[in-house]
Amino acid sequence: MLGYCGVNCAECPAYQGTVSSKIELLEKAAQAFSNGADSAKEWVCLGCTPADQGFLAKPCAACKMRTCAIAKGVQNCAACADYESCQKIQTILEPWGLAQRMTWLRERFKALQTGGG
């Protein structure tokens, strides 16, 4: 399961902790992603897709990329017409290790749009 930005939610300790009911994984997510500023219960998350997901980590609920993708009606940022010029997504590709995955998704999306599926 991929988030709008290409993060593999299934690899996230918040998602893993939620589906396995392991508080220690939620605590790990809170420490890793918010330096412990958020409590473990604020990291209960089933991934940021679909748009109406009810169990969403507090920071993921506030994600500007998620909000933008939902507003534009795209399933993933790679499917957005503004992908190449979008500063929201471009600033996280390398630091989060998402560049290869999102480049591949973008290429696939373009191929499907031109019938090269």
pTM: 0.85
What average pLDDT score do residues 42-55 get?
92
* CA atoms 74, 85, 102, 18: torsion sign: negative
Nearest to 45 by CA among 20, 80, 72, 75: 20
Task: Give residue 96's pLDDT.
Answer: 84
> pLDDT band at 17, cuts 50/70/90?
very high
Q: Which residue has the tokens 């993921």?
A: 60
Our measurement of the distance from residue 79's CA atom to the centroid of its chain's CA atoms, rounded to an integer in Å, reads 14
